[in-house]
Amino acid sequence: MSDELTPRGSLTCRGCGSDGLVSVLDLGRQPLSNEMALTTTEPSPTFPLHLRVCPACGLGQIGEYVLPERIFGAEYPYLSSVSTSWLAHAGEYTRHMTEELGLTEGDLVMEVASNDGYLLTQMRDAGMRVLGIEPALQVAEIARSRGVDTVNEFFGLALAEKVAESHGRPRLIAANNVMAHVPDLQDFLAGLSHLCDDDTVVTVENPSFVTQMQETQFDTIYHEHFSYLSAHAVAAATRDVGLELTRVEKLTTHGGSNRYWLTRTGAREAHPSVAEVVAEELAAGLLTPELWEDFADRSRAVIRGLRTWLDERHAAGRTVAGYGAAAKGNTLMNAADVRADDLVLVVDGSEAKQGKFLPGSHVPVAAPSELAAAEPDDVLVLPWNIAPEISRLVAELTPGAACWIAVPEMREIG
Ligand code: ZN
């Protein structure tokens, strides 16, 4: 019997509404990536993790089994400001958008999923009025303590109506790395549309699904990522809410992202990048089973590769530690059936995760300062998107340990 909350992502496309989704990669039942265990024996509830693709628009998606409140509730542990490379990216975004839109002092900038204020503090320091929208209470409180006015609610059309009433319409709305997290994509997009006037630009940054497939980034599939986006799918999803995709910028963040500019239909002439990127996506095979099946085969090879590598380390008597208790690491490790005795510990800079255990594998999470005491021979870097930053930290903390990444294939990094 099916236990989905809605048919979105398993039967019907949450982007364009088509049915006939195609099964691409079934990762079985997995625990929620951010639901850390408090003890070594606390069982982790599991839910299906099954990627399907819409053959009409190319949106990759997974079904809905738990309410967003459970995934992004009060204790949601991800703090953007913990990553120095992410802070630097926010600084570049602030400069770039200020210049592109000619933002001037006092212009209103909103961010949906504003996290701990990592971006809006920089926008505020550049002279803008700012408003954050962040559903996770503890994270929202951190933003408020930094002086960022933050609404602590989930974003959708109902909240957009209230915010438009109280704050007016902004020049810029950042909705970066959030659209994938939204189960009801049409309500979310309707909310963005409601906040726009003809001068408003919404930017949506998200990993490119085409790149994710080409680079075998299957570990970005986890329960909080409901959608896997491309320019083609974004254009299809926004069509019915009065928004239009009018520019695409390519970014290097998260292993290869796009920044989609959404504006009110007819408000802005489309930049040539839209047609160019869509053509590239189609040429890469976004809408063809060949790319999907090849991606699934390579993903299964990565999973087997990690399992073999761990077994070999274990047989050789080597001590393996992990770095970065990121959600993507949990997908990889649970798919490879990693157990607590495979890794001595995983270290992570986020205090909210320290002292807990990874969901499923129950590997203990500790502060980076504890890495040296574990005397690892090998350190597996789980968030490969910030691997250079982490390998430098590992070299400082425990010189002599070898650093490895598992995606897109098992290899030692400098
Ligand atoms: Zn679709």
CA of 23 to the centre of ligand 1 (A): 14
* Span 344-387, pLDDT tens digits: 999 998 888 999 999 999 999 999 999 999 999 999 999 888 89
CATH 3.40.50.720 boundaries in the chain: 290-413
Residue 75 confidence (pLDDT): 64
Least confident stretch, 81-85, 130-134, 229-233, 338-342 = 81-85
The pLDDT tens digits of the residues spanning 65-89 come to 988 888 876 566 666 666 777 899 9
% pLDDT > 90, the chain: 84
Q: Strand, helix or coil at 381?
A: strand
Cα 199 to ligand 1 centroid, rounded to whole Å? 29
Q: How far is the CA of 151 from the centre of ligand 1 (A)?
A: 31
What does the pLDDT look like over 190-244, one tens digit per residue?
999 999 999 999 999 999 999 999 999 999 999 999 999 999 999 999 999 999 9
Could you tell me the distance, in angstroms and rounded to a whole number, from the CA of residue 97 to the centre of ligand 1? 30
Q: What separation in Å is there between the alpha carbon of 17 and the centre of ligand 1?
A: 6
Query: What is the sign, positive or negative, of the torsion defined by CA atoms of 328, 61, 261, 134?
Result: negative
Angle (nearest 5°) at CA 389 between 144 and 333:
90
CA of 392 to the centre of ligand 1 (A): 41
Q: Where in the chain is the domain with CATH 3.40.50.150?
A: 80-289
Name the β-bridge partners of 347.
323, 366
Using the mean position of ligand 1's atoms as its centre, give its distance from the Cα of residue 215 in Å: 22
- Superfamily, domain 80-289: Vaccinia Virus protein VP39 (3.40.50.150)
With a cut of 70, say whether residue 44 has pLDDT above it: yes
207 beta partners: 257
Distance 133 CA to ligand 1 centre (A): 27
* Strands 257-264 vs 172-174: parallel, antiparallel or unpaired: unpaired
270 CA to centre of ligand 1 in angstroms: 22
Ligand 1 centroid, distance to 236 Cα (angstroms): 7
Residue 121 has pLDDT above 60, yes or no: yes
Q: Give the span between the Cα atoms of 349 and 83, in whole angstroms.
A: 9
Distance in Å, CA 182 to ligand 1 centroid:
15
| Rounded Cα gap, residues 198 and 265, in angstroms | 9
CA 106 to ligand 1 centroid distance, Å:
39
Q: Please give the angle made by the CA atoms of 348, 354 and 358, to the nearest 5 degrees.
A: 80
pLDDT of residue 1: 40
290-413 has which CATH code? 3.40.50.720
Q: How far is the CA of 51 from the centre of ligand 1 (A)?
A: 13
Calculate how far, in angstroms, residue 246's C-alpha sits from the geometric centre of ligand 1: 19
Instruction: Give distance in angstroms: CA of 227 to centre of ligand 1.
Output: 10
Among the listed residues 176, 182, 33, 160, the one whose alpha carbon sits nearest the alpha carbon of residue 97: 176
- Whether the per-residue pLDDT at 62 is higher than 80: the answer is yes
The contacts of residue 308 (CB under 8 Å, 6+ apart) are none
Quick check: 130 pLDDT over 60?
A: yes
Taken as a whole, the chain contains a residue count of 414
Distance from the CA of 232 to the center of ligand 1, in angstroms?
10
Q: Is the pLDDT of residue 2 over 60?
A: no
- Cα(209) to centroid of ligand 1, in Å? 13
Query: What spacing in Å lies between the alpha carbon of 386 and ligand 1's midpoint?
Result: 31
Q: How many whole angstroms from 287 Cα to the centroid of ligand 1? A: 10
pLDDT in tens, 236-287: 999 999 999 999 999 987 778 999 999 999 999 999 999 999 999 999 999 9
Average pLDDT, the chain: 94
Distance 239 CA to ligand 1 centre (A): 12
* E strand or H helix at 109: strand 108-112
In whole angstroms, how large is the CA radius of gyration of the chain? 21
Cis-peptide into 183, omega within 30 deg: no
Average pLDDT on 30-44 reads: 90
Ligand 1 center to residue 61 CA distance, Å?
Answer: 9
Residue with the two structure tokens 């002599």: 400
